[in-house]
Amino acid sequence: MLIADVSDTGAPHRTASTPPRRRWRSHGTDGVTGWALVTPAVVLIGIFGLLPVLMSLQLSFQKSDLLTPETPWVGWDNYRKMADDPVFLDAIKHTIIYTALFVPGTMIVGLLAAAALNRSVRFISVYRTAAYITMAVSTISQGIIFLWLTDRDYGLVNAALNAVGVPSQPFLASPSQAIFVIVAMTIWGWTGFSVIVYLAALQGVPPELHEAAAIDGAKPFTRFRTITVPLLGPANLFLLVWLTINALQLFDEVYATTRGGPLRATTVIVYYLWDQAFVHFDAGYAAAMAYALFVVILIVTAVQFRLARRYAHHP
């Protein structure tokens, strides 16, 4: 109900209960302006993001060499082919080995480095910057650096081994050693990221808990194990999921160093996918592998969230 009073001139005045017509008009204009601003981005994401995803899904049910327009429909043949492909099965094994070593290795090294940097000492900001600087090095550059470091004839690593009486090692040229060198290289490259995450989490641990434990006689390692580590649950979950997703998509480091390695010892899923699509021009089969990997990543991520939810939120 509209409530109004009358001024000396006889004109009615609106009170606080009057519907704010101008405000409604302003909100409507803001909505139109907002959609106008985001529409170009939505269109670009749809064209260059969503549309290729849908087209690759269709391609996974076709046979295509990316050169000729003929793309006959083959149904589930591309997916069935994976079960009978020994190279793909080896790629799965190499990816699992890499992930099982890379993820916990990066988390452990990052946690230890973050714990060492979580203190007030002189030039601590310089040390923290140095710990993160590996993230500024591109993966291709990392590969080139490790190729030089591990070179059998003039690499610094073999020079150090020779100095202590150990013969030179082939490292990236060895079918048995190459995957472990790649693990070490990527742990070095990703440690800076895990240090930043853990350092932020460590600075959120209440210091009074450590003070109370110290008064009770708890040693530093005991305080770290019983107080700090349980409170790092959210950081652990984030790094576990993020690093696992990246590990399952390993490509750049393999491409820059071994190209699948001797006897395909470092051929992982994404590298084999690329090889099938752009070397052997079997794009349909590559698209099927990409979607199989996508489903695996979804399942693994869901399982990780399911298993770690309680630990992450109720330390």
Write down the pLDDT at residue 200: 93
Write down the pLDDT at residue 241: 94
Mean pLDDT across 147-167: 94
Write down the pLDDT at residue 119: 86
Write down the pLDDT at residue 9: 52
Does position 145 have pLDDT exceeding 90, yes or no? Answer: yes
Does position 117 have pLDDT exceeding 50, yes or no? Answer: yes
SS3 of residue 13 by DSSP = strand
Q: Which of 283, 282, 281, 252 is nearest to 268 (CA)?
A: 252
Confidence of residue 19 (pLDDT cuts 50, 70, 90): low
Radius of gyration of the chain (CA): 28
Confidence of residue 111 (pLDDT cuts 50, 70, 90): very high
Confidence of residue 276 (pLDDT cuts 50, 70, 90): very high
CA 268-269-271 angle, 5° bins: 70
Cβ atoms of 267 and 260 within 8 Å: the answer is yes
Confidence of residue 1 (pLDDT cuts 50, 70, 90): very low
Domains belonging to the chain, first-starting first, are 17-59 (no CATH), 80-313 (1.10.3720.10)
> Out of 53-62, 202-211, 273-282, which region has the weakest mean confidence (pLDDT)?
202-211
Does position 10 have pLDDT exceeding 70, yes or no? Answer: no
Mean pLDDT across 65-72: 91
Residue 169: in which H helix or E strand, if any? none
Please report, as a single letter, which amino acid is at residue 249: Q
Percent share of the chain, pLDDT over 90: 65
Q: CA of 252: how far to CAs of 71, 196, 246, 268, 297, in Å?
A: 29, 23, 11, 11, 18
Mean pLDDT across 97-112: 97
- Please state, rounded to an integer, the average pLDDT across all residues of the chain: 88
Does position 105 have pLDDT exceeding 90, yes or no? Answer: yes
Token pair listed for 268: 């992982």
Write down the pLDDT at residue 300: 95
Does position 3 have pLDDT exceeding 50, yes or no? Answer: no
Write down the pLDDT at residue 63: 95
Selected residue with higher pLDDT from 91 and 4: 91
Mean pLDDT across 287-294: 96
Mean pLDDT across 52-77: 93
SS3 of residue 175 by DSSP = coil
Please report, as a single letter, which amino acid is at residue 6: V
Per-residue pLDDT tens over the stretch 125-143: 899 889 888 888 999 999 9
CA-CA distance, 292 to 115, in Å (whole number)? 38
Cβ atoms of 161 and 74 within 8 Å: the answer is no
CA-CA distance, 309 to 68, in Å (whole number)? 49
Write down the pLDDT at residue 44: 92
CA-CA distance, 249 to 252, in Å (whole number)? 9
Token pair listed for 81: 């082919």
Confidence of residue 25 (pLDDT cuts 50, 70, 90): low
CA-CA distance, 293 to 165, in Å (whole number)? 44
Percent share of the chain, pLDDT over 70: 89
CA-CA distance, 162 to 313, in Å (whole number)? 50
DSSP bridge pairs for 12: 6
